[in-house]
Chain A
Amino acid sequence: MKAVVDRSFVSEATWQKIEYLMDRYPDARSALLQVLHAVQDEKGYLDMEAIKWIAKLFDLPPAEVYSVASFYTMYNLKRVGKYLIQVCTNISCMINGAEDIVKHIERKLGIKVGETTPDGKFTLITVECLGSCGKAPAMMINKDYYENLTPEKVDSILDSLK
């Protein structure tokens, strides 16, 4: 099923990963979500060029791949900052002050939820339950969890990111 694609679109390491993933399942299509993850890990987001490349790889129409990618919130279909700040505001975090954390980050970075700082360093979004309810409020920055947040803790975390 793997169609001929330009391998140089991704790094050799990502290509190896993709080949492994597509062979791992009884039906290669099952690897679609994992391949979307792998390409996003390398590129930071999935633009139409990436969607088309993946579509060719799976021998699917680009619209089909886009429809899958757009269904899931973790795929960034637009460029995001170097650091994607994802603050949980669901119930357990909400009742433990998540809104104050969001407001604090908005003030600190001078952006609103959904926006990216002009230097492209930070994007701030709110997300649904991250499964950190026992250490609320919580957020993820890129792939790392940060828990038991206070405004002071958020300051030191954000200040440490270069």
Chain B
Amino acid sequence: MGEYKLLLANVEKPDSEKLEVYRASGGYERLRKALFEMKPEEIVEEVKKSGLRGRGGAGFPTGVKWGFVPKTDEPKYLVCNADEGEPGTFKDRVIIEKDPHLLLEGIAISAYAIGAHEAFIYIRGEYEYGAQVLERAIKEAEEAGILGPNALGSGYDIKITVHRGAGAYVCGEETALLNSLEGRRGHPRIRPPFPASKGLYQHPTVINNVETLATVPFIVERGGDWYASLGTEKSKGTKLFSISGHVNRPGVYELELGTPFKELIYDIAGGIRDGRKLKAVIPGGSSTPMLKAEEIEGVLLDYESLQAAGSMLGSGAVIVMDETTCIVKAVYRMAKFYAHESCGQCTPCREGTRWMVQILTRIVNGQGRMEDLDILLDMKDIMGGNCLCPLGDAALGPLISGITKFRDEFEAHIMTGRCPLGG
């Protein structure tokens, strides 16, 4: 357990984004192997065996997702979700900017595995530099005959297009992303039908996160069993963690799943800044319930251990808050985010996120009422599971965990009209 550089093996090399550097370390040989030596269904089988799960946050088994694509002749599409909007998350950006060819190779192999000739990279609008890096990399690979028509001389066509978003968190949700890719408002769609049967332009579509797709070349190269030997019994492989907040060495680290939570915070990221004490940590992006310092004792960074602790692995975005952090203000700020990003389509989320902000504003401004806390906790039943997409549920993550775990801090704000920490 601990650090393990698979996805991040190349990122520190000089000119790591260039094709010649990528090829010097065996780049695109996995694509060659896939196209010339493997049938698409064999690749799907290896990915199933690997135990790889969606690294964007939902954690759905990748091979199973691919298996839902019907074996028909209609056009199929692969979409790489590079929207990376979950607050606290900045891991995909490293791959995009520093190892774009690894991502392109993963996309090409995955497209072949599901029978798609066309793939799109939906990248958040703010990552314009990343989009340029990817466009240059696609051009390089097309000119070298690696991508494009008759990829590597295999007779298989693979076209990859970079599509920039324009600032909407909800477009990280896969059906909102598809609408955005079709040139529409990013409103999530009703499911079923699921994208695997009717996705982009109503054709079968697979949407996978950057990190997920960048893992595929290694599975093709070394086999699903090898990948499954990393990590724990149930959470297999490695995962990128973006750690931010009050630690000495924030950044992106690749760890074997199952690494102790405290090892990441205290060893790898250098511990809490200025010798202060840990107060709370959000383990998987702002949508995942926060844990108190004592709750991470003995917890491992994997799907099962974090779930057992009452939270989620999510996107692996660890936000560390020290003892000086006002939890009320943190919860208020996150609520504002969800209210801003609610697409407005479903009433519980549109209205609920706004109520949350109104009530929390009152509490932050010293005008809170004790019954406000129960109104906020009731949001769980009003908003939870009642919408087309999980944005409303995501908004509940910090709210419910914050109030439940730090109720005394909320009560102190209400009773004294001030922040006990002086914030």
Contact = CB atoms under 8 A, between A and B. Distances in A.
Given A30-B181, A71-B186, A130 B164 contact: no
Contact of B126 (A31, A67, A96, A130): A130
A133 B125 contact: no
A71 B342 CA distance: 11
B278 to A, nearest CB: 13
Interface string A33-56: 110110000000000000000000
Contact of A31 (B183, B242, B252, B334): B183
A71 B246 contact: no
Interface in B113-129: 118, 124-129
Contact of A128 (B90, B164, B329, B341): B341
A134 B252 CA distance: 8
Contacts of B168: 71-73
A92 to B, nearest CB: 4
A133 B183 contact: no
A123 interface: no
B132 to A, nearest CB: 10
B95 interface: no
Interface string A49-92: 00000000010000000011001111100000000000001111
Given A72-B167, A133-B88, A140-B126, A95 B321 contact: yes
Nearest to B85: A129
Nearest to B126: A130
Contacts of B184: 29, 32, 68
Contact of A24 (B84, B86, B126, B161): B161
Contacts of B222: none
Interface in B64-85: 75, 84-85
B139 interface: no
Contacts of A73: 166-168
Contacts, number: 137
Interface residues of B, number: 54
B365 to A, nearest CB: 15
A132 interface: yes
B330 to A, nearest CB: 6
A142 B416 CA distance: 42
A90 B126 contact: no
Contacts of A135: 250
Interface residues of A, number: 40
A61 to B, nearest CB: 13
B337 A90 contact: yes
Of B126, B167, B244, chain A has the most CB atoms within 10 Å of the CB of B126
Contacts of B340: 128
Contact of B183 (A24, A29, A132): A29
B367 to A, nearest CB: 20
Interchain residue pairs A-B with the least CB separation, the first 3? A32-B183, A72-B166, A133-B244
Interface of A: 24-27, 29-34, 36-37, 58, 67-68, 71-75, 89-92, 94-96, 127-136, 140, 143, 145
Interface of B: 75, 84-90, 93, 118, 124-129, 161, 163-169, 180-186, 201, 242-246, 250-252, 282, 286, 317, 319, 321, 325, 329-330, 333-334, 337, 340-341, 343
24 contacts: A26-B75, A27-B182, A30-B163, A33-B165, A34-B164, A36-B166, A72-B165, A74-B125, A74-B166, A75-B167, A90-B286, A90-B334, A91-B87, A91-B245, A91-B286, A92-B87, A127-B167, A128-B337, A128-B341, A129-B86, A131-B124, A132-B90, A133-B242, A143-B129
